[in-house]
């Protein structure tokens, strides 16, 4: 149950961080960045529960595989929570004004694809669907291509001078 909660926190955070980045809401961006502590705390809780189960219950076969999968998944969720925090911290710097309409569209689409991938992963985990991994790899390839296209487009944009608040867009 707590792992599914971690999936939800990361997915909801990604939606909020992307929306905040595009809206330029600096106050909300700082609030979203502060939510990472909850993800970190839940991550440690889950890790502790798995360690106790391994030590005290001596699980075998399917239950052991499940617990090992949890130990592999939760660090990825925690790291993804850190990435949500990073997006929110960028939003707090006010980069929305520097995004072209094309870039805004790409960021929107990247957010949608990432949320779809997290929702699929969450569903597969909750249903204990081992075949879902292959489907995720196929869907993830499109997300990676979109990320590279966005990064390339952003890096090739015309140089912008520093704004009055001292911020200069990354890669420019």
How many residues in total does the chain contain? 172
Q: Which helix (H) or strand (E) holds 128?
A: none
Q: Which residue has the higher pLDDT, 1 or 15?
A: 15
| pLDDT category of residue 37 using cuts at 50, 70 and 90 | very high
Q: Which residues contact 155 (CB under 8 A, 6 or more apart)?
A: 171, 172
CA-closest candidate to residue 116, choices 140, 134, 133: 140
User: What is the per-residue pLDDT for 129?
Assistant: 76
CA distance 142 to 2: 29
pLDDT single digits (tens) 86-105: 989 888 888 888 888 988 99
């Amino acid at each position: 149950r707590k792992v599914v909660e971690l999936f939800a926190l990361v997915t909801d955070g990604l939606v909020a961080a992307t929306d905040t980045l595009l809206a330029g809401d600096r106050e909300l961006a700082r609030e979203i960045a502060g939510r990472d502590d909850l993800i970190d705390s839940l991550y440690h809780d889950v890790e502790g529960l798995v360690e106790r189960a391994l030590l005290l219950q001596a699980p075998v076969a399917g239950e052991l595989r499940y617990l090992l999968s949890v130990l592999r998944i939760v660090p990825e969720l925690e790291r993804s929570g850190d990435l949500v925090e990073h997006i929110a911290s960028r939003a707090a710097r006010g980069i929305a004004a520097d995004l072209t309409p094309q870039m805004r569209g790409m960021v929107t689409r990247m957010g949608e694809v990432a949320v779809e991938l997290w929702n699929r992963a969450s569903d597969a985990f909750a249903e204990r669907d081992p075949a879902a991994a292959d489907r995720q790899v196929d869907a993830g390839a499109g997300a990676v291509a979109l990320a590279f296209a966005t990064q390339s487009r952003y890096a090739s944009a015309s140089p912008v001078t520093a704004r009055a608040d001292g911020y200069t867009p990354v890669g420019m």
